[in-house]
A and B are shown apart, each in its own frame.
Chain A
Amino acid sequence: MGYPFPSEAWLLALHQTLNRDQQYAQVARGWEGDILCLIEAADGPGWLAAFYLDLWHGACRGVKAYAPGTEELPAAKFTLRAPLPNFYKVISGELDPMQAMMTRRLKVEGNMAYMLRNVPTVLDFVRCCRAVEIEPKLAF
C-alpha cells in the first residue's frame, strides 16, 4: 500500500521505516540533528506542507507534520526547502540528492560542512524515504 505525498501518513510511515532499518541505525549512528522539510508550491510563494523529523544517533525520535497557517514551525538544525516536484523527484529516485543540492533544486539551510561530512547518513536517509511507497504516482 502506498501513501500520498506529502501527507502525515507518509511521514508516519517514514518514521517507522527509519526506526526499523538496521542499516540506517548503523550508518547514522553518529548523526545528531533535526530536520525540517519545507515543501513549497511549484509556482508562487508559501509552502504546502512541512515535515519535522528529530533524528538522533541512528533513530528517529519523533516526527510532526505541519499544514500552512496551523502552527509556528520549529527551528531545526537543518531546513530543506524545495518545490513539491523536486522533493517528489528526490524521494521517488528520479533525482540524485547530491545533484539536487549542487544545483540548488533542494535548498539547504544549516551547517553544510556537517552535512557533507555525513554524506553517507544523508544518502541512507534518502534511501529510507524511497523505501516508503508513494501513491498515487504523480507526474511533473
Chain B
Amino acid sequence: MKRFLAIHTVRNVYLTQDEWVEDWRGLRHRSRQTPGCPVWLTSYYAAIQGKLYCEWEAESEDDIRRCFTQRELDMAPFESIQEIVRMDATWLDE
C-alpha cells in the first residue's frame, strides 16, 4: 500500500462532541468498506491555520476521495493529496 498525506482546509467545525466523534468514526468504518480498503492512520490538526493533515494508506488517491461524504467534503474540502514516504527521526538514534 502507498502512503498519502491529505491536506484539508477546515471550513466548518462540528458543533457537538457527539457529531464530531460519530462522523469521524463513520469515516474510519466507511473507509474499510471502500474499494481498495484505504486506511486512515492519523491526523494532525492546525487549529490556528484551520488545516487538517491526514495520513492514509491506500492504493490510490481516488480510493481516499471515495471514502468521504459530500457533507464531509463541504466541511473540510481537500486542498491536496500527496503520495509521501515515512522517515522516522528516531531512526537517527540507532
Contact = CB atoms under 8 A, between A and B. Distances in A.
Interface of A: 101-104, 107-109, 111-113, 116-120
Interface of B: 12-17, 19-21, 24, 45, 47-48, 50
25 contacts: A101-B17, A102-B20, A102-B21, A102-B24, A103-B21, A104-B17, A104-B21, A107-B17, A108-B17, A109-B17, A111-B15, A112-B13, A112-B14, A112-B16, A112-B17, A113-B15, A116-B13, A116-B14, A116-B20, A116-B45, A116-B47, A117-B13, A117-B47, A119-B45, A120-B48
A11 to B, nearest CB: 24
A112 B47 contact: no
A102 B48 CA distance: 19
A112 B20 contact: yes
Given A104-B17, A120-B47, 9 more contacts: A101-B17, A102-B20, A112-B14, A112-B15, A113-B14, A116-B20, A116-B47, A117-B50, A119-B47
Nearest to B12: A113
Contacts of A102: 20-21, 24
A-B complex: 7 closest residue pairs judged by Cβ atoms: A113-B13, A119-B47, A108-B17, A116-B13, A112-B17, A112-B14, A112-B16
A28 B43 CA distance: 23
A103 B24 CA distance: 11
Nearest to A106: B17
Contacts of A112: 13-17, 19-20
A102 B47 CA distance: 16
A66 B70 CA distance: 45
Contacts of A103: 21
Contacts of A118: 47
Contacts of A107: 17
A31 to B, nearest CB: 12
Contacts of B47: 116-120
Contacts of B48: 120
Nearest to B16: A112
